[in-house]
Amino acid sequence: MTGLLEVRGISKRFGGLQAVSDVSFTLNEGEILGLIGPNGAGKTSLFNLVNGVYKSDKGSIMFAGKDITGLSPDRVVRLGLARTHQIVRPLQGMTVLENVIVGACFGRENQSMHDAHATALEVLEKVGLAKRAYSPARALTLASKKRLEVARALAAKPKLLLLDEVLAGLNPTEIAQMIDIIHSIRDSGISVFMIEHVMQAIMNLSDRILVLNLGRKIAEAPPAEVVHNTDVVEAYLGFPDIVDKLRGMA
């Protein structure tokens, strides 16, 4: 069986820096695939390649049986591949609801304004932002802005959702709530590809984990195996407490 997302030999160079280097992997339908790696490993760049924000130098990307290599992000999201931003980017001057309506209107189902309104309310309920629907997006706290990122992406009715550090900067209660949201997303049949530095969370959530270091894939395995992979441990050697955490969790 072929996977929902198949990335083959993807590479991206910025001047003298090889940000992503010959990365291949497959994401199966219904799976939560984790993506970890030290700061600057190229994780966000990989997301940007997958959803078309960056044009790849080499390699190909297949999504749901279609070749999406080189497609612009707006076409990619219409095919059912939505994402959030690590550094939140709400449409500041609009309300929370309007932000999510944009996601629904221009997403996979290309909904009318009327349907998008209903979808948006539903999604806001799901991520726990219903009470803030009519607030201006700029007035939200960071935690709420992260939920807004997730809500907007969900409103696109994606088959695959890319989550870029949606837990970073949240307090423990907020993290727990977000983890519940991610579980419910998967239960609703959406596959998830997520970047996370909060190790405990990613170890628990992911079916499998992909590890990047210096732009290269150094491991791809279930969480329990990843923590015993010597390459992974070495990659994190500069960050000894992370090694401890990895061990402690598996």
- Residues forming contacts to ligand ATP in the complex (CB under 6 A) are 14, 17, 19, 37, 39-45, 86
Instruction: Please measure the distance between the N-terminal and C-terminal CA atoms of the chain and give it in whole angstroms.
Output: 29
**Site residues (CB under 5 A) for Mg ion?**
44, 86
Answer for the pair 59, 25: CB distance below 8 angstroms, yes or no.
Answer: no
Tell me whether residue 44 or residue 144 sits nearer to Mg ion (CB atom): 44
Minimum CB distance to other proteins, residue 105 (Å): 5
Report what 45 binds from Mg ion, other proteins, ligand ATP, none; CB cut-off 5-8 Å by kind: ligand ATP
DSSP state of 166: S
Q: How many CA atoms lie within 13 A of 47 on its CB side?
A: 23
CB of 37 to other proteins, least distance (A): 21
What is the contact surface with other proteins in residues (CB under 8 A)?
Answer: 14-17, 51, 53, 72-75, 77-78, 83, 85, 89-94, 98, 101-103, 105-107, 112-113, 116, 152, 156
Q: Indicate the burial class of 237 (C-beta count within 10 angstroms; 0-12, 13-18, 19 or more).
A: exposed
Phi, psi of 168 (to 5 degrees): -60, 135
Closer residue to other proteins (CB): 105 or 211: 105
Cα-Cα-Cα-Cα dihedral of 179, 155, 47, 231, to 10°?
A: 20
Quote the least distance from Cβ 127 to other proteins, whole Å: 16
Residues in Cβ contact with 22 at an 8 Å cutoff, skipping those fewer than 6 apart: 9, 10, 11, 58, 59, 216
The minimum distance between CB 87 and Mg ion, in angstroms, equals 9
Comparing CB distances to ligand ATP, the nearer of 96 and 150 is 150
Q: What's the min distance (Å) between Cβ of 43 and other proteins? A: 17
Distance, CA of 110 to chain centre: 21
Closer CB to ligand ATP, 42 or 107, in the complex: 42
Among residues 48 and 191, whose Cβ is nearest to other proteins? 48
